[in-house]
Structure 1
């Protein structure tokens, strides 16, 4: 089950989902409330957690590998503990991770995002094309992200996460995209000390579903096999 980061909908996973299906896996790409075709639906962080949990329960999914990219690692990490024994593994793709009592914006220097939210009436606009430079993306891929991306609902970035147990207790894989910084964030580095967490690396930028979709699909399939 694939959940993209800020500004993106399920469409961002088209090539990854196709590669997974070709390899014999089921693949569901989910669009969170307030984004893409659901852009008119009000959303906060709890809404996004509920989006993920409801999709799993509504479709009767079991043995689920939850995949969260970038921002969506925050709701996906919370949803992972809520779906209980339906979860097989959670995979964070160059993602933020939830910290109990902290928001997405609390986890790193974010004054520029807070300023963007204030200037745009509470939504985080997609980056301009220059913001994607040096991330292993073609001009065509950048154009698609900029054109099809939608402003990200600000409340999802400012509401605190809620965890019922330590995140390190979940079976997890963290995929670090090395062109976006070679070292995981301190919050992730701490979690990687858990014997239930594994680290995988990709020599690409922050949006590997566009830059290296087949390589990412192989990593996700391998993570699913770890159980």
Structure 2
């Protein structure tokens, strides 16, 4: 099989977050590789953002063709950094429930650090549309499996280098927000990286922030057909 889809989970997730998406993509005739990033599944608490970027680029370089690079939530920035570093190697970038961080901004400095890591903060910050489709069992499983994010990742500063990243096609999958809302945010200047994108498609999915857990088959179809 040809490696053609790379899957990057957001904060606190390792490659197992895509366990139900991978077979759905394979059923559609594609081969997907879920990534477990340094500091998010390999036991390291000292990994940096540069380490995670290097891992993503290694996967891009190892693909025999031009892969679709999929980023979820905060990892939308990692997918976009791959487009920045390899604009001629990445066929397309899919962003699920998030947007690329602007140049010069911290990668994911969202929650309190404890002993050098950013643990999952619990469900209070995600009450409402983000988590409405997760039942209590799903929440307990997520919390138990959540991997604290190293400070060197969360506070790493994002830097882009190649304006040709704007030529890489982008698919924005909108879960807890609508395509109309996303267009408003982009038009207002809140998402400058996507405002500069030459080809941007937006698709809706009726889910919360983690559609790989709650709508894996529909998500797989959107990634392939969107």
TM-score surpassing 0.5? yes
**Runs of 5+ unmatched residues, structure 2:** 1-5
Distance 1:81 1:179 in 2: 26
Residue 118 of structure 2 corresponds to residue 121 of structure 1: no
Give the superposition deviation at 1:104.
Answer: 2.4
How far apart are 1:128 and its partner, in Å? 2.0
Listed one character per residue, the Cα deviations across residues 25-63 of structure 1 (whole Å, up to 9, x for unaligned) are 000000110112x12263111111101011222x34312
Which among 14, 21, 26 is matched to residue 26 of structure 2? 21
Structure holding more helix per residue: 1
Q: Contact 1:125 / 1:151 at 8 angstroms: preserved in 2?
A: yes
TM-score using structure 2 length = 0.84
Residue 177 (structure 1) aligns with? 175
Instruction: Name the residue aligned to 1:6.
Output: 11
**Residue aligned with 1:35, SS:** coil
Partner of 2:3: none
Q: Evaluate the alpha carbon distance shift between residue 84 and residue 170 of structure 1 in structure 2; reply closer, same or farther with a 3 A threshold.
A: closer
Spell out, residue by residue over 1:161-196, the C-alpha distance to the aligned partner (whole angstroms, 9 max, x if none). 111234533211111113599723553377257441
**Residue 169 of structure 2 contacts residue 197 of structure 2 at CA under 8 Å; is this kept in 1?**
no
For residues 71-110 of structure 1, what are the alpha-carbon distances to aligned partners after superposition, in whole Å with 9 as ceiling and x for unaligned?
111122111232343211000101230322221247xxx4
Distance, in Å, in 2 between the alignment partners of 1:207 and 1:214 is 13
* Cα distance change, pair 188–155 in 1 and its aligned pair in 2 (3 A): same
Q: Retained in 1: the 8 A contact 2:90–2:168? A: no
Q: Distance in 2 between matches of 1:181 and 1:206?
A: 14
Residue of 132, 139, 143 corresponding to 1:146 = 143
Match of 1:53 in 2: 57
Q: In structure 1, what is the Cα distance between the partners aligned to 2:177 and 2:139? A: 16
For residues 30 and 8 of structure 1, what CA distance do their matches in structure 2 show? Answer: 10
How has the CA–CA distance of structure 1 residues 131 and 71 changed in structure 2, closer, same or farther, with 3 Å as cutoff?
same
Q: Which residue does 1:71 correspond to in 2?
A: 74
Unaligned ranges ≥5, structure 1: none
Aligned residues: 212
Q: Deviations over 1:100-159 (max 9, x none)?
A: 2221247xxx4xx1xx11xx1221111324555442112222122111111011221222
Instruction: Answer whether contact 1:5 1:69 (CA < 8 A) is retained.
Output: yes
